[in-house]
Amino acid sequence: MQALPIFMNINDRLCVIIGAGEVAARKVTMLLKAGAKVSVHAPDICTALATLAEAGRIHYEQAAYTEKQLENACLVIAATNDLSVNTAVSMAAKAKNIPVNVVDAPALCTFTMASIVERSPVVIAISSEGHAPVLARYLRSKIETMLPAGYGRIAAIAGEFRDKVKSKYATSQARRVFWEDVLQGPIVERILAGQEAAARAALDHLLSDNTAPQQHGEVYLVGGGPGDPDLLTFRALRLMQQCDVCVYDKLVSAEVLELVRRDAERIYVGKSRDQHTLAQEEINQLLARLALAGKRVLRLKGGDPFIFGRGGEEIETLMQQGVPFQVVPGITAANGVSSYAGIPLTHRDYAQACLFITGHLKNGELDFDWAAMARPQQTVVIYMGLVGLAQICQQLIAHGVSANMPAAVVQQGTTQNQRVVSANLGDLAEQVAAANMKAPCLTIIGEVVQLREKLNWFEPQTKHAG
């Protein structure tokens, strides 16, 4: 290690920047975040810094470099494109024992600035000691994706409880064990899910209760998206990797399931049309039972749990039984599938509204407000509409939609097996039958479908017609 990583308190202290270009602006942004008083000196100033100067957030002096500008500085940065100026700044700062950084010139620096991942008050600094700043930034972006945005809130709440923990546990060893348990337990999940009051109450309870801690389970109701695993949210992935048991549906793709923690128990409760492995009420009870037995239960659903996903019913049962839970939205089929089919659901020329509707037949019948579905300037997206497709098309035409209205059916959208049949409303059912399309299929009806001809961008590996 050639340099010691330290965090320097520059709050309300003077930091001087020589140079006022874009690189200087990036450094200034960091200094301002840390609460510094910033003074910038240069003959010309870039727009970003000029805006900050106008807003009174920095002091700007339009002048060439002079040594006097460094007076009273606790830190100096040289960011000009003139090597002789940068060298002069470096030498003068070193002579005055002021820490100095010269952009892109490690030999002239007494300190370098790290790439940071900020989850304030937690800050992670990454340095390549000036050798490979791009590598440091690359590592930073990797760490950004791994650390939930709420880590700062965990640190802040831990800070609030520091004194209470200290008065309950006399030794640092006991305090360490306490915090390690907390950090690996459900309280952290409460904080990350935005349930901070519940987290504080649980911490208070833990500190006032002298009985052995009970193992608490919970349910994560997670939307697994339409199929492509890259469409999972960060939070979904994190919870998938820490569950004890995964209760999943038919629609969850194999690639998504692959990302669930290897040694988690897997329970399939998939539903296919008219044939449910477990009735919904049994699934609701199963989730509650597993969580009450202390398990972290991942309830993994295709798409979004609250869009034709019966997620609401599941959490109603959990609420009734006092089981903690959190809901993680997923990309619903309408969003994901239409994007991958090159069909924007709204467009200023063609559709100002979009209707999501289920085509699930009730007692073999479709029970729609056909007039509402037939309105112009809107896109209709039908989930579970494959079986009733011929009926839907006929009824729409009977209610005034043109038989020439563009329409498409997308099978297994967003996956490498995606297939698309696009046709006029009048021919759609016939063409879909001829192509032998199988569930899951999403139907999109509206003028926007014609845009697919121009905007189709996704190329699944499995090539089909359409």
Ligand X SMILES: C[S@@+](CC[C@H](N)C(=O)[O-])C[C@H]1O[C@@H](n2cnc3c(N)ncnc32)[C@H](O)[C@@H]1O
Catalytic residues: 249, 271
Binding string, 209-228, against ligand X, x = CB under 6 A?
-----------------xx-
Among positions 168-187, residues that touch ligand X (CB under 6 A) are none
User: Whole-angstrom Cα distance, residue 69 to residue 66?
Assistant: 6
From 66-74, 154-162, 277-285, 412-420, give the range in contact with ligand X by CB under 6 A. Answer: 412-420
Q: What is the closest distance, in whole angstroms, from the C-beta atom of residue 302 to ligand X in the complex?
A: 5
Among 133, 388, 413, 466, binds ligand X (CB under 6 A): 413
* Residues contacting 117, CB < 8 A, separation 6+: 123, 124, 126, 140, 143, 144, 147
User: Whole-angstrom Cα distance, residue 127 to residue 413?
Assistant: 42
Structure tokens at 283: 């699934």
End-to-end CA distance of the chain: 59
The answer to whether 232 contacts ligand X (rule: CB under 6 A) is: no
Among positions 273-302, residues that touch ligand X (CB under 6 A) are 301-302
Q: For residue 223, list its beta bridge partners.
A: 301
Q: What is the closest distance, in whole angstroms, from the C-beta atom of residue 363 to ligand X in the complex?
A: 18
DSSP E strand boundaries for 156-290 = 218-223, 245-248, 265-268, 271-272, 275-276
Structure tokens at 171: 């030794």
Among 18, 42, 113, 442, binds ligand X (CB under 6 A): 442
Q: What is the DSSP letter of 308?
A: S
User: Whole-angstrom Cα distance, residue 187 to residue 207?
Assistant: 13
User: Whole-angstrom Cα distance, residue 401 to residue 396?
Assistant: 6
From 86-94, 289-297, 305-313, 372-380, give the range in contact with ligand X by CB under 6 A. Answer: 305-313
The answer to whether 113 contacts ligand X (rule: CB under 6 A) is: no
* Residues contacting 10, CB < 8 A, separation 6+: 31, 34, 35, 36, 74, 75
Among 414, 419, 437, 466, binds ligand X (CB under 6 A): 414
Nearer to ligand X, 175 or 250 (CB): 250
Among 19, 217, 229, 303, binds ligand X (CB under 6 A): 303
Q: What is the closest distance, in whole angstroms, from the C-beta atom of residue 360 to ligand X in the complex?
A: 8
Pairing of strands 275-276, 37-42: unpaired
Q: What is the closest distance, in whole angstroms, from the C-beta atom of residue 410 to ligand X in the complex?
A: 5
From 23-31, 38-46, 257-265, 407-415, give the range in contact with ligand X by CB under 6 A. Answer: 407-415
From 19-27, 37-45, 146-154, 329-337, give the range in contact with ligand X by CB under 6 A. Answer: 329-337
Q: Point out which residues bind ligand X (CB under 6 A).
A: 226-227, 251, 301-304, 307-309, 332-333, 337, 383-384, 410, 412-414, 439-442
